[in-house]
């Protein structure tokens, strides 16, 4: 559900937080963390505090509230110093307002002073981590920030220009917007370096997980679902009367698929969602990474069943359950993608911009038929897969870092991506095929290990973040006030 405008969450930071430690190929994270794509349902306040910072992009017709009177603006002051870096009252209040926008029901029940205090602690923790990242020389270049901005725009079905207009309308300057993106990318890379390599899952733990899965009730275990959707988009700000024709169109589509018409074909022809290229398929992922609206709609829907239309601020969604499985289950069915890539690593000798230009030239040569992808990979790729023509084999959702996977999922078989920036360098990606298949025993164990490691990663991160916070020099000044 990366495109949903139901929250228009600026989800790059969260999406990038999904990546965990890389394996030998330099691409595959061992798990996904608790990051969610744009459109993820509201979470508890505690969860929001622990997640990377996110932003809400306002709808086009929603004007920003009038500026506060000068007498209120004069109340700006420093509330805390973290390693000599100030956190201001406006820093706290801006974050508080974002949390309230994302979770109005729960945030509205909490006293503002308590919310201010929780947000201040979160900002202190972030600043302490950013200070550590600076000490370790972790840097995020402009090309990575550019790509993050493009991903946000795509996820919210906006052009980059429109995204910038929405952000500016909310009173956030382009410089601040990009700085916050860069900070979140930096925090993600710091976590990958400091936390992820230390988290291990033993064979005994995997064995116990599989035994529990066989013996426990299904409801007691985590499960994955793969949904496909057809979105009939409704203009933002539309009245119920204006939305009625769109609802009728969605109902007509639902009737057609229930009557036996091919869902994927109708999605490619009629859906307003970016995933229509893949027949509306969103991809197998843990249920809690889907919006609550979708989870509730398909809760009792069987595999290959149809649900909806259901309404979100984006429009009306007709949903199909493509697969439902538990990690490591013997009958788990997943969608796999056969993919290959060319990786150019960036360093003092090759900048990100130079690598992107070189790979863009490779793509043009492949398109013109003057070069072969496999040959270019063997001769140029700086990944272990080079000797195999860049082949990474058949993969399932969550095996690659988010930047790579986001680009891969937008490709149809045979297509070649534009250059993709990740923390490992710059990639050129080609999708060779897709299939739905059952996991073999080794893959079942791998899926179980991934589920276990995801839980342990979150626990390890909490402990590490507390340790970083404890080591930082923090001086409290005046308490934050609304």
Rounded-to-integer distance, Cα 63 and Cα 182, Å: 27
Q: What is the pLDDT of residue 331?
A: 56
**With 0-12 CB in 10 A as exposed, 13-18 as middle and 19+ as buried, what is 69?**
exposed
382 closest CA partner among 390, 373, 392: 390
Q: Please give the average per-residue pLDDT across 175-199, as a whole number.
A: 89
In this predicted model, what pLDDT tens digit does every residue of 195-229 receive, in sequence order? 888 889 899 988 888 887 776 554 444 567 778 88
Q: Residue 387's pLDDT is what?
A: 93
Q: How far is residue 21's CA from residue 195's CA, in Å, rounded to a whole number? A: 9
Mean pLDDT over residues 114-140, rounded? 91
DSSP β-bridge partners for residue 421 = 426
Q: Which fold has domain 223-325?
A: Chitinase A; domain 3 (3.10.50)
d(CA 481, CA 65): 19
* Out of 21-30, 94-103, 222-231, 469-478, least confident range: 21-30
pLDDT score of 454: 77
Longest dimension (CA), the chain: 67
Q: Which residues contact 192 (CB under 8 A, 6 or more apart)?
A: 19, 20, 21, 22, 423
335-438 fold: Chitinase A; domain 3 (3.10.50)
pLDDT one-digit tens code per residue, 300-340? 887 788 887 888 877 889 888 877 765 555 555 667 889 99
What is the rounded distance in angstroms from the CA atom of residue 304 to the CA atom of residue 319? 10
> Residue 147's pLDDT is what?
84
pLDDT tens, position by position, 438-474: 777 887 788 778 778 877 888 888 899 999 999 999 9
Of residues 197 and 12, more confidently modeled: 197
- Mean residue pLDDT of the chain comes to 77
pLDDT at 64: 43
- Which of 118-127, 269-278, 427-436 has the weakest average pLDDT? 269-278
Of 62-66, 165-169, 262-266, 371-375, the poorest mean pLDDT is in 62-66
CA proximity to 405, closest of 37, 57, 6: 37
- What is the DSSP pairing of strand 285-286 with strand 224-233? antiparallel
Share of the chain above pLDDT 90, in %: 20
Given a cut of 60, whether residue 59 has pLDDT beyond it is: no
Q: Which CATH superfamily is domain 9-200 in?
A: Porin chaperone SurA, peptide-binding domain (1.10.4030.10)
Confidence category of residue 342, pLDDT binned at 50, 70, 90: very high
**pLDDT number for residue 332:** 59
For residue 104, the Cα-to-chain-centroid distance in whole angstroms is: 22
Distances (CA, A) of 409 to 6, 90, 287: 21, 39, 18
Degrees, nearest 5: CA angle 17-23-29: 25
Do 335-438 and 9-200 have the same topology in CATH?
no
Distance of alpha carbon 187 from alpha carbon 17, whole angstroms:
9
pLDDT at 432 over 70: yes
C-alpha 432/C-alpha 191 separation (Å) is: 32
- The full set of domain ranges for the chain reads 9-200, 223-325, 335-438
> Could you tell me the pLDDT band of residue 124, with boundaries at 50, 70 and 90?
very high
């Amino acid at each position: 559900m990366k495109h949903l405008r139901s929250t228009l969450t600026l989800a790059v930071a969260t999406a990038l937080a999904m990546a965990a430690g890389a394996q030998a190929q330099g691409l595959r994270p061992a798990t996904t963390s608790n990051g969610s794509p744009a459109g993820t349902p509201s979470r508890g306040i505690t969860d929001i505090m622990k997640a990377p910072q996110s932003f809400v992009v306002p709808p086009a017709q929603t004007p920003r509230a009038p500026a506060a009177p000068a007498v209120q603006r004069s109340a700006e002051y420093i509330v805390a110093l973290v390693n000599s870096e100030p956190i201001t009252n406006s820093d706290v209040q801006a974050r508080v307002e974002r949390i309230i926008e994302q979770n109005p029901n729960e945030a509205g029940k909490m006293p503002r002073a308590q919310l201010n205090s929780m947000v201040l602690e979160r900002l202190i923790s972030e600043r302490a981590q950013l200070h550590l990242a600076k000490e370790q020389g972790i840097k995020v270049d402009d090309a990575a920030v550019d790509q993050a901005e493009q991903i946000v725009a795509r996820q919210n079905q906006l052009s980059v220009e429109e995204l910038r207009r929405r952000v500016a309308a909310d009173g956030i300057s382009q410089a601040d917007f990009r700085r916050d993106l860069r900070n979140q990318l930096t925090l993600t890379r710091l976590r990958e370096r400091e936390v992820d390599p230390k988290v291990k899952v033993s064979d005994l733990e995997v064995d116990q997980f599989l035994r529990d899965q066989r013996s426990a009730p299904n409801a007691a275990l985590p499960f994955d679902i793969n949904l496909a959707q057809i979105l009939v988009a409704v203009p933002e700000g539309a009245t119920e009367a204006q939305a009625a024709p769109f609802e009728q169109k969605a109902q007509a589509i639902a009737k057609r698929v229930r009557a036996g018409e091919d869902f994927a074909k109708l999605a490619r022809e009629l859906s307003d969602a970016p995933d229509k290229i893949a027949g509306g398929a969103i991809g197998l992922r843990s249920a809690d990474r889907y919006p609550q609206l979708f989870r509730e709609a398909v809760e009792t829907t069987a595999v290959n069943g149809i649900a909806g239309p259901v309404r979100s601020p984006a429009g009306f969604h007709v949903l199909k359950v493509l697969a439902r499985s538990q990690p490591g289950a013997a009958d788990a069915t997943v969608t796999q993608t056969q993919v290959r890539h060319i990786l150019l690593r960036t360093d003092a000798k090759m900048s990100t911009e130079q690598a992107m230009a070189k790979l863009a030239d490779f793509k043009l040569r492949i398109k013109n038929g003057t070069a072969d992808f496999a040959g270019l990979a063997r001769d140029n790729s700086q990944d272990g897969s080079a000797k195999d023509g860049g082949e990474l084999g058949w993969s399932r959702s969550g095996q690659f870092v988010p930047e790579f996977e986001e680009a891969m999922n937008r490709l149809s078989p045979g297509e070649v991506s534009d250059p993709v920036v990740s923390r490992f360098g710059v990639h050129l990606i080609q999708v060779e095929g897709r299939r739905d298949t059952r996991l073999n025993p080794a893959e079942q164990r791998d899926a179980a290990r991934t589920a276990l490691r995801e839980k342990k990663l979150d626990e390890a991160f909490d402990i590490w973040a507390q340790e970083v916070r404890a080591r930082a020099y923090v001086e409290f000044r005046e308490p934050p006030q609304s």
